[in-house]
Each structure stands twice: as C-alpha cells, then as structure tokens.
Amino acid sequence: MTTYLYEKDLVPQKYRILVANRHDALVRKIAAELDIPVQELRRYLIEHLDMILLENLPARYEMADANADQDDPVARVLGREKYTLYLPILPDAAMDAIFHAVNDRVRAGTAMEDAIAYGRVQIREVLRR
C-alpha cells in the first residue's frame, strides 16, 4: 500500500492485537507449523497485514482448519489454501511453485517427509525475503 505523509505508525497497535491471548496462541501455533521464530512471524504479519485482518486471524484460521485443502494431503500438510486464501500470508504464485516442486519430488521418488521438509524450507525462504 502507498505511504501517506500524515501516516501514523501502526506497529505498536498491531503488536498489541497480536499479543492478545487468542491471537498470541494462534501466532505461536502458526510459527510452530511453519517452523519459524515467533518474533519473525509477528514482524512479517505486522508488515504485510492490516489491522482488521490481524483481528480476524483466529476466525480465519478456524475456517481454514475446517475447510481448507480437504482433498490433497500434500496441500493440507503444506497449508496451500490455508496460507494463501484463508490466511493471506504467502503470495499465491510462490505457494503454487512450492506445492508443485514438492509434488514433483514426491513423484520422482523422494520420501514424503523429505519433500514436505523441502517445502517448509522454501516457505521460510519466502517469508524471509
């Protein structure tokens, strides 16, 4: 989004949202799923999501848990829809590329766990970019 001359610094307010009990538990859960440090994830969320989306993260996560990636086990483990459609953390194109790369590795004979671990590393790379 564009920066305004008279823009307020929203970082402290966004941080307060993320450290509320429910949000904090969720951020820790996502950090564990993606295997990245909590502080790093918080910083990423503060930089990339607006205040209302941060407020709505727990509700969106619950919907993702119930409905996202029902048909494909690889997509479910990677969180293909969960982290793009439901929680817009990763860009669609990046997640698609990671998903296809993991699927290619599985088809080529790599063990599922190793392919998923590779996918996780790629997701971390995207988040750190």
Partner 1 sequence: MKRTVDVNIPLGPIHPCFKEPVRLKCEAKGERIVGAEVELGYMKKGIERIMKGRPWQEVMFLAERVCGICSVIHNMVFIEAMEQISGILVPPRAAYLRVIANELDRMQSHLLANFSYCYTIEHETLGMYLLDLREQVMDLIEQLTGARVTCAYIIPGGVRCDIPLPEAELLKASLDRIERDMRRYTGMFADGPMIALRSRGVGILTPEAAQRAHVVGPTARASGIPVDCRLNHPTYRQLGFVPVHRADCDNFARVMVRFDEVFQSIDLIRKCLQDLPKGVIRGGGVCKAGETRYSGEAPRGELTYFIKSDEFGRIVEIQIQTPSIMNIEACCHEMIIGVDSIADVTSTFISADPCIACTER
Amino acid 37 reads P
To partner 1, the closest distance from the beta carbon of 99 in angstroms equals 18
Contact between 83 and 45 (Cβ < 8 Å)? no
Total residues at the site for partner 1 (CB under 8 A)?
24
Quick one: which of 11, 19, 59, 111 contacts partner 1 (CB under 8 A)? Answer: 59
Contact between 33 and 124 (Cβ < 8 Å)? no
Verify binding: residue 93, partner 1, rule CB under 8 A.
no
Copy the structure tokens of residue 126: 């995207």
108: Cα separation from own chain's centroid: 27
Which residue stretch of 18-26, 30-38, 96-104, 110-118 sits at the interface with partner 1 (rule: CB under 8 A)?
18-26
Copy the structure tokens of residue 106: 């599985």
Residues at the interface with partner 1 (CB under 8 A): 1-2, 4, 8, 10, 13, 20-22, 50-53, 55-56, 58-60, 62-64, 67, 85-86
